[in-house]
Amino acid sequence: MDIDAQIEELSKKITPGRFEKMRLAASRRTRYLTLVLEDIFQPHNAAAALRNCDAFGLQEVHFIENKFKLRISANVDMGVSKWQDVIRHTCSRARIHRNFMPKDHNVYPEEIANTKKALSGLKERGFFLAASVPGAQKKVQDIPVDKPVAILVGTERTGLSDAARECADMEFSIDMFGFAQSFNLSVFSALCLSGLSARMRALPHWRLSAGEQKELLLRWLSL
């Protein structure tokens, strides 16, 4: 049975309205823009970032797990992660920390290697890596969108690792005019993705191919 026939058969098991919603969502999905979160330790932040990515049509999200093996907060996630490709790059040292913050803040070779491997893989796929660094001179609007873009965001406590910054093609920040030195992680990701998504969708080549859309729709219908 070819993919069109499979989709038609599975679509009969849900309402026409739900199928149309899934079809429309698949047609708006992109892998041209992705979010990479390095060593996030608060489950609700990760879940909120996933919701942001879903809202802006990002199909792919990356988690680099060096010290922290992430538990995504289901009550914040609201089920969106099942529609996404959540890709985990997990170091052998990563653990779930019930009190969120481990006492050991040393950086180990395995963690450096894990970050570099994850980001090298994205570079090999043609992604431009933009690292969020407080106080960076370049701003989010300076990030080029003439090629696929990966936004790198670091751990809540210390930001991106030196390894991640070394791999990046540029560093950027968002201007702040009050006493706060940083945005909440999920708010920051939403601000970045909003502007970049709008610029990206003005281009002709941000969508998934017709074949990729069908494969995604079939996968969703099979859930």
Q: Give residue-wise pLDDT tens across range 65-87.
A: 999 988 877 676 778 889 999 99
Q: What's the domain range around 159?
A: 31-206
Of the chain, the percentage scoring pLDDT greater than 90 comes to 78
- pLDDT score of 158: 85
Sign (positive or negative) of CA dihedral 186, 78, 150, 159: positive
- pLDDT score of 101: 66
Do 174 and 194 fall within a single domain?
yes
Average pLDDT across the chain, whole number? 93
Residue bearing the bigger pLDDT, 32 or 155: 32
Q: What phi, psi does 90 have (nearest 5°)?
A: -105, 125
Q: What phi, psi does 95 have (nearest 5°)?
A: -140, 155
Do 151 and 120 fall within a single domain?
yes
**What mean pLDDT is predicted for residues 180-198?**
92
Do 5 and 113 fall within a single domain?
no
**What mean pLDDT is predicted for residues 166-187?**
91
Do 6 and 85 fall within a single domain?
no
Compute how many other C-beta atoms are within 10 angstroms of the C-beta atom of residue 63. Answer: 24
Supply 167's token pair.
């791999």
- pLDDT score of 104: 74
Confirm if 35 and 153 have CB atoms less than 8 A apart.
yes
pTM, to two decimals: 0.94
**What is d(CA 219, CA 68) in angstroms, rounded to the nearest whole number?**
29
Identify the H or E element spanning 122: helix 109-124
Do 72 and 5 fall within a single domain?
no
CATH number at 58 reads: 3.40.1280.10
Query: Which strands, in side-by-side order, build the sheet including 33-38?
Result: 85-90, 60-65, 33-38, 149-153, 128-132, 170-172
Do 21 and 130 fall within a single domain?
no
- pLDDT score of 99: 61
Question: What domain count does the chain have?
Answer: 2
Do 133 and 222 fall within a single domain?
no
- pLDDT score of 76: 66
- Tens of pLDDT along 7-38? 999 999 999 999 999 999 999 999 999 999 99
Checking if the pLDDT of 56 tops 80, the result is yes
